Structure 1
């Protein structure tokens, strides 16, 4: 798992009521086109939110506000430029910072207060004489999360949101399908150490990699990882104390019926290779589930977490994307705002609710829903019969129940399992060192894989729990593997992410899964599909020893008895395909 933190930090300057006026004048002298002001906005519980407002000088009529709400403080360059652009395009630009950041005197607690605080910022902004009573929001990653957080209770002034690769705390990070993953560990220092950004800690990759691998080698409990680092990580400790998707996570953003009252137009932009894709698409799926008449559009293609927030990139993880995949995210955003606020034209990319680039086909397609991206599903069983050296992925359910046996020694740190991360996207060969590979017959004609694959694993283990991984590849005619999608998950939460249901040792259990990464790609004639199946055991995420205890508290002392797992041959995956 990788995380890239290439940002800039700015000097902390003091702020009080008298200096605000001077600062506004100073900014005005620097650029006479703009009136830029610093404000502290008081929330309903007495906290203060630091914000910057940008208006065009000489403008007298109230205008619509374009708001960004973020934890990333870059107020002398990037932030000023982005709110100036809003002003240049006929709006008023406002950027507000998460409680505790910049000039806010409060404690920094990422995710926890953004729902109420962003609502309060919208309320304050909408009542200012320079605002026409309408607010739109945009931004990516954490800024995408704050937009959804603000809709948990929808303010009447908020008319639309445009989010890119939006985070959903508790679902895509810092845990994925109830498995804690490591990238947010160092991120917590980056955003939580000071009022701006701690780039020294955030860019010290070696420090955190050394810590991670020492944790892996020594086998101490996951929740003691900061003892290896030697610096207490207060945010990490808050997060790992909530392994279920409990009230702590639920209250941060819309949850279940909260989505039914979100009746504003929404534009989502995401990527097939965005690490937190299941966060962004969670919002879309739940929005339509609880509000079938929602006006919610999606643009998605072969983009990374950062690529989707910009213009994509010509190459991602070694894969050269189709020419028509590259989009101008920023331009589409403002076209959308003109469509919503100024009766402008809808962005041309929005042919229907779901708009997706087909990799390998060099074209865009549209559908009315994610489900309509495909017109068929290919059910393939993970059989115990070999096709040469590899097990068969067959459309025929085996007539006789059987299983493949695997033994995983968690005490052995020389071997790691589950190489699921799509970097590189195109691999030269498959991993035959552990786990199991299942390959289909070659396709007799080209076919589109479009959507998210699902499946059911039938297993029995000698313990009470395990973490699994399943990766979907296209095996190209030349034998190379093209990474399509993956999932990691915890068996005990496979049926309910809120409540843990431990497995009964040596009893066959059904493990359903569905929260896989969405993708669309044309498979060539002669290509195969391949599923790589394994137990999740590596240095990049929490390690589930299977005792049934809280996983973050387990240690290598629990590894005396290896995990023994039987993968039954009536396990299957369903691949969404489109046949013309």
Structure 2
């Protein structure tokens, strides 16, 4: 399974900060087992519900041990959690106070709000067992004096949705693992207690916090739910949150979403109101309290346009609206902008989806990760979390379809549940008028001349769509104030930054420890951006030029006027066959026009499975070469940056009328490990034009010229090699193109015929964007923003 199919399945995880051993102890630990708690044996019958006394005993034992964490901040964080579980709330408060002072001195993200929920708990438990009156007293003591900005972050951290932050399940998993150990290392035991502390804390928040949050909201904000009528008579549910501390007319920030999660929507609107805006949440027609039938994508642009017009007519509005949000909510911004609402003055789309470009198909190849999404979003008035969490069901469906070789269009029958939205999508395999009606297309972008800040990540599965919008606006409206910010982020970090809802930093993304400079709070950047546009505030410091990107491995930001300016050389590597059997094929500086590198894939074969096991990780010990060819370059003689978009110029002969392929690029470091860089995937018949299918002539040479839709920037060290894997797409996780020339959704295993045979000719090449020169002055410190 190539990287493409592993990074598009979204998962939300909380990171345990257990740290590493001090340097002075490394030599000793190499010769002896890690410190452990040999006297503790977890009872075999201990459960999540009965774990409290066992965890208290373990926490007290750990307080007598030396914490192996290297960093003082991590040691303080561990200690306050151990003290909390050990039943020592006063000492926990004192440790928390020291921890907060340290984080404030270090200018840690959201340091003013972080940990305050746990201060509330420590205060509530200081004088006896936890109770509603004691929790209420502590809540008011901590939250009431706070300004709106800080209070909104504290309330958000308390009021988490357990579907996305399942602390009970995480503790259960940690407990099951610990029960299987004869003894626990100190690090593992601390991790277990941390998991329990979060479970215990959020159990208390769920029990006591809701009425207090409601009362605090009523004191600080005016909250209203309304129905807005569209031009065709549909009803759109809208939530409006206005700050009580002003009577001025204000600009509004609109998040238009299909994810009608009341808790999250209120959190977002509250935060906008806390930052001096009117916070507005609008929902796709048919969602929330709208009586209409929910429909994804098709009406959102016109409906958001109607909501924007409604906002501008309200007495509390100053007539200006900005839009923000990620993924689907990035799509709705561009969908609204297509209709040119007069009041829409700025956008901040993050990891924006583009229907027909990256979902539900990419390169005109339909992706099965999108199958369950309509059932998750369209089968009730909120979101159907059962569909989101039942990943075992979708895996069974995918593997059954793959094994039986049925048409892709039969997926709903295999699953046993109607999925009319997915079936409607399959009726549009080209990027036709159905898809083009949803978002700006070509010259539509020329009229969108408002400021736009796009954020995405190198490892965001939807980066291709975020860059599509950015590049199209730059092409057709070159004078618009448009910025791109990108770094080593995934789909979540590309819209939230490297900080979670608890205020905890994410140091590791998909197994890759990000550079310190890459840490960023995109929530804070959101309000800095809109303050710049609407309130004459300073331009955010990180936006030094049009394209702002972090160079992985160099711990620095670079800033250029265009994507093309990210590199100063396009180095061409030609595909050359291996010199001898068993060796790798080559990425060579010169072509061999008479050379051919063959690839044969039996599309009917189902007995073998991809042996690769490191799916979804950025740094791996091996690469996935399933159904593919591996090409390697000579080692780089000097340090060089891979920065920008790569291109492909392939000359290929196929024995069928079509095939689907993928190109995956890696750095192979001198130590032998691989770092995932970028990839491109497409249906060969659509490489020339995603709107029109051009079938191949079997046995004739075909030219495939493309520019990848995903960029990256990484410092390649001397001795590293560039690795390219050129593979045919044949997995349970996407359509299988059997090459008949029929609609691929209607093809079946019986259409496979003879194996697919491809001949990659010697003038086929990859153009790799490299930066060799001395970079311009770079940002060596994380971008600073006041944390709203």
Partners of 1:448 and 1:29 lie apart in 2 by 51
Q: Distance between the aligned counterparts of 2:700 and 2:680, measured in 1? A: 24
Residue in 1 that maps onto 2:10: 4
- Which residue of the partner structure matches residue 314 of structure 1? 507
Equivalent position of 2:392 in the other structure: 206
Q: Would you say the 8 A contact 1:418–1:535 is kept in 2?
A: no
Q: Does residue 333 of the first structure (1) align with residue 530 of the second (2)? A: no
Alpha-carbon offset, residue 434 of structure 1: 4.1
Deviations 1:226-245 (A, max 9, x none): 11100011111011111000
Structure 1 Cα separation of the partners of residues 711 and 480 of structure 2: 21
**CA apart distance, 1:402:** 2.2
Distance in 1 between residues matched to 2:755 and 2:626, nearest whole Å:
18
Deviation at 1:430, TM superposition (A): 3.6
1:22 is matched with none
Query: Measured at CA, do residues 271 and 471 of structure 1 come closer, stay the same or move farther in structure 2, by a change above 3 Å?
Result: same
In the TM superposition, residue 460 of structure 1 has moved relative to its aligned partner by: 0.9
Deviation at 1:29, TM superposition (A): 8.2
Residue 21 (structure 1) aligns with:
none
Partner of 2:181: none
Q: Which residue of 1 aligns with 2:231?
A: 44
User: Counterpart of 1:557 in 2: which secondary structure?
Assistant: helix
Distance in 1, matches of 2:398 and 2:417, equals 14
Map of 2:364 onto structure 1: 178
- Superposed, 1:431-580 pairs within 5 Å as 431=624, 434-580=627-773
What runs of 5+ residues in structure 2 fail to find an aligned partner? 13-160, 165-212, 499-505, 774-788
Residue 373 of structure 2 corresponds to residue 187 of structure 1: yes
Q: Conserved in 2, the CA contact under 8 Å of 1:223 and 1:553?
A: yes
Which moves more between the two structures, 112-121 or 509-518?
A: 509-518
| Partner residue, 1:386 | 579
Quote the residue 2:412 is aligned against: 226
TM-superposed deviation, 1:467 = 0.2
Map 1:320-359 onto structure 2 (within 5 A).
320-359=513-552
Q: Per the alignment, do residues 376 and 72 of structure 1 end up closer, same or farther by CA in structure 2, a change over 3 Å counting?
A: same
Is this contact kept in 2: 1:417–1:536, CA < 8 A? no
State how far apart, in whole Å, the 1-side matches of 2:538 and 2:693 are.
48
1:111-122 matches, within 5 Å, as 111-122=297-308
CA shift, 1:69, in A, is 0.3
Q: CA deviation at 1:90?
A: 1.2
How much does 1:31 deviate?
2.1
How far apart, in 2, do the equivalents of 1:164 and 1:204 lie?
A: 27
TM-score (norm 1): 0.94
Answer yes or no: is the 8 Å Cα contact 1:455–1:514 preserved in 2: yes
Q: 219, 226, 232: which is aligned to 1:32?
A: 219
- Structure showing greater relative contact order (alpha-carbon pairs closer than 8 Å, 6 or more residues apart): 1
Write the distance in 2 (CA, Å) between the matches of 1:58 and 1:462.
71
Query: How much has 1:525 moved relative to structure 2?
Result: 0.3
Specify the SS of the correspondent of 2:527: helix
How far, CA to CA, are the matches of 1:508 and 1:302 in structure 2?
A: 38
Task: Choose which of 609, 614, 620 in structure 2 pairs with 1:427.
Answer: 620
Instruction: Determine the C-alpha separation between the residues in 1 that align with 2:282 and 2:546.
Output: 30
Kept after mapping to 2: 8 A contact 1:169/1:252: yes
- Which string of whole-angstrom CA distances, capped at 9 and with x for unpartnered residues, describes residues 58-91 of structure 1? 632211111110011121x221122112112111
> By how many angstroms is 1:216 displaced?
0.4
The answer to whether the Cα contact below 8 Å between 1:380 and 1:574 also exists between their aligned partners in 2 is yes
Residue equivalent to 1:72: 259
SS for the counterpart of 2:444 is helix
What's the counterpart of residue 240 of structure 2?
Answer: 53
| Structure-1 residue corresponding to 2:323 | 137
SS of 1:273's equivalent in the other structure is coil
What is the distance in 1 between the residues matched to 2:479 and 2:217? 48
Distance 1:188 1:110 in 2: 8
Structure 1 residues 93 and 431: alpha-carbon distance in aligned structure 2, compared to 1, 3 A threshold: closer
Secondary structure at the aligned position of 2:653 is classed as: strand
Change (3 A) 1:30 1:263: closer
- Equivalent residue number for residue 103 of structure 1: 289
Shift of 1:516: 3.6
Q: Which moved more, 1:358-367 or 1:530-539?
A: 530-539
1:83 aligns to 2:89 (yes or no): no
Assess, with a 3 A threshold, how the Cα gap between structure 1 residues 554 and 536 changes in structure 2: closer, same or farther.
Answer: same
Larger Rg: 2
Show the counterpart of 1:302. 488
TM-score, with length taken from structure 2: 0.70
Of residues 443, 460, 464, the one that matches 1:274 is 460
Question: C-alpha deviations, 1:181-221, integer Å up to 9, x for none?
Answer: 11111111110110001011211000011000000000000
**In 2, Cα distance between equivalents of 1:8 and 1:153:** 37
**Which residue of the other structure, out of 236, 246, 251, is the alignment partner of 2:422?**
236
1:428 CA drift (Å): 1.0
CA contact (8 A) 2:468 2:709 kept: no
Match status 1:63 vs 2:264: no
Match of 1:143, SS?
helix
Name the SS for the 2:266 alignment partner: helix
What RMSD, in angstroms, separates the aligned Cα atoms of the two structures? 1.9
* Distance in 2 of aligned mates of 1:193 and 1:86: 29
1:420/1:471 contact within 8 Å kept: no
Secondary structure of the residue aligned to 1:254 is coil
Deviation at 1:415, TM superposition (A): 3.6
**Aligned 8 A contact 2:467 2:709 in 1:** no
1:124 aligned partner: 310
- Count of paired positions: 563
Check 1:295–1:228 CA distance in 2 against 1; reply closer, same or farther (3 A cut).
Answer: same
User: 1:385: Cα distance to partner?
Assistant: 3.9
Q: 1:569 Cα shift?
A: 1.4
Residue equivalent to 2:441: 255
Select the structure that is richer in helix: 2
